[in-house]
Structure 1
């Protein structure tokens, strides 16, 4: 049996472009190249797709604050409707070698929100991560909260402001509803992009302006005093949860720089120092939230653990970071699944789900 051919899709037209580049680098370093043949497809910030060489796909690859995609200008395109040869060179229109599965390690809008997932599904290829619906609803934090709340989970109180609204609530109104401090964040972003912690009226206006640079909808969210606990979920029909870990930021909150640039910006305690009963409750709720949002493949569920033991779900990430300081692979490593094995399991889950999808009827007797 030959090698399994994996298309690694990375970069993206997103504010989390650089995070994706780091994730791709780590996957390439960890994947079993004896078993998998990886085709690198980098997406630049303008949305162009580049067929890349393993020897030359990143610039400043060892500097997270300077990392860039190497634009090969060997552009590729996806042809929906084919049963094979779905990805082709634009020049000459010759097909790439048939890919067995796509790993879209894309974070943020146009990568994690169902857009790419829908396109890959139209191309009739297996792919890692949840389907279109769960990808979309988990990307939109406002919708995620509404669905989780309706399913009986505890979430932080929040208000939503849309760019199209005639006016945003005043600082006084927000303070009366949510208290101070509170957070402002774009509804459809991740990695703490565009997030501000607000304590004053001046900060409020500045925070709204900042968040609206990244999205048309903004969340104003109550501050929750509690420990930041994260749990990884893996699986399709029978998902399992890892041990939970704790984020111990060394700054005011877990910012983009803390997550991906400054290796000393936060400490990760894995597993978290938790009572056995609390740990099991977190793992159980993580799987339940994963299933309530109809996720498949993988997700990371983030909680606040209050002093009284109450668990508040903060968000659910359907394509969490795979950088060397990312929580998702570290949680599974602590739970007995190495990084290379985790990649293998994700690829197998993608192929398994695709076979199930292919077995569905698309004609009426």
Structure 2
């Protein structure tokens, strides 16, 4: 398909800063590959101006770009775009809905409870703690990049963390603490990339560890046996496809101390700087950054 490509990045979500870095890297990679592409920041330009483009490469993280709303707009404008469609994007963005789906399909994911803003009573947390134990992970249902995520070791910390999360979202996920390493698996088309093991200097892989810490370590090869890595890759692909995702994305998984995999979430528009996790995994598979972005670009539909 010829014609000009809009690289959508920036936007208005809490992840704008990360999206600006990802999007510029993708744009630069496409231009080096001879693709006629230019920046399109929905915060600065009306969506009606997208009608002058023949294709869109979405590098918007978080709400307004990763949650199905931009995908729906592009569908209405009949502009082919990269990544998952409206329904899968909306589903994957909502951690609660994703976990409900995986639970129904009997895919492994940590025990959880949900707090809803419209009927929240602090005393509800007592029953949840009795059922799930402490510590707990507290996650706004629809934020990415670990925005608003906290670990609660006590009921007092849990109350404070839920209050903070409810300021960011109408629905909050409480997830049983998983004591074990975290892995991430990138998927490009129907090809599963080598897994990466994440090792943060602090207790878990939070926003600081992702974007600011110089101490976070990324292990690829991930240190698993060949059989275990194949099992992890198969699970990640099953989780990705169960949500209806397509083209590319990343599945985050932990392995509990008893050796059980626990699915965390699907990222339908992961970070795409040259040092982000998907490019790291692709590089381990022999795919350089420019080839990666061109491969994703070619999938637009």
**TM-score, structure 2 as length reference:** 0.95
Which of 202, 216, 234 in structure 2 is aligned with 1:284?
Answer: 234
1:309 deviates by: 2.6
Map of 2:197 onto structure 1: 246
1:333 deviates by: 1.0
Provide the aligned length of Structure 1 versus Structure 2: 301
1:10 deviates by: 0.8
Map of 1:138 onto structure 2: 92
1:166 deviates by: 4.5
Q: Deviations over 1:106-135 (max 9, x none)?
A: 111111010000001110011111000100
Q: Is residue 185 from structure 1 mapped to residue 184 from structure 2 by the alignment?
A: no
- 2:114 is paired with a residue whose SS is strand
Which of 271, 284, 293 in structure 2 is aligned with 1:334?
Answer: 284
8 Å CA contact retained: 1:259, 1:325: no
Residue ranges of structure 2 left out of the alignment (5+ in a row): none
Residue ranges of structure 1 left out of the alignment (5+ in a row): 51-75, 80-85, 88-97, 355-365
Q: 1:302-341 alignment to 2 at 5 Å?
A: 302-341=252-291
Structure of higher CA gyration radius: 1
Q: Deviations over 1:220-250 (max 9, x none)?
A: 1110111101101111xxx121010100001
- 1:192 is paired with a residue whose SS is coil
- 2:167 is paired with a residue whose SS is coil
8 Å CA contact retained: 1:300, 1:316: yes
8 Å CA contact retained: 2:33, 2:290: no
Change over 3 Å in CA distance of 1:161–1:322 after alignment to 2: same
- 1:212 is paired with a residue whose SS is helix
Q: 1:16-35 alignment to 2 at 5 Å?
A: 16-35=15-34
8 Å CA contact retained: 1:161, 1:168: no
1:170 deviates by: 4.2
User: What is the root-mean-square deviation in Å for CA atoms of aligned residues?
Assistant: 1.7
Which of 103, 114, 118 in structure 2 is aligned with 1:149?
Answer: 103
Q: Is residue 204 from structure 1 mapped to residue 174 from structure 2 by the alignment?
A: no
Which moved further from structure 2: 170-179 or 289-298?
170-179
Map of 2:210 onto structure 1: 259
Which of 200, 203, 218 in structure 1 is aligned with 2:172?
Answer: 218
8 Å CA contact retained: 1:182, 1:198: yes
Tell me how far apart the structure 1 counterparts of residues 148 and 5 of structure 2 sit (CA, whole Å). Answer: 33
1:4 deviates by: 4.8
Tell me how far apart the structure 2 counterparts of residues 112 and 122 of structure 1 sit (CA, whole Å). Answer: 16
Which of 87, 99, 110 in structure 1 is aligned with 2:64?
Answer: 110
Map of 1:56 onto structure 2: none
**TM-score, structure 1 as length reference:** 0.79
8 Å CA contact retained: 2:31, 2:37: no
Map of 1:173 onto structure 2: 127
8 Å CA contact retained: 1:9, 1:102: yes
Tell me how far apart the structure 1 counterparts of residues 157 and 7 of structure 2 sit (CA, whole Å). Answer: 40
1:345 deviates by: 0.8
- 2:118 is paired with a residue whose SS is coil
Tell me how far apart the structure 1 counterparts of residues 281 and 47 of structure 2 sit (CA, whole Å). Answer: 35
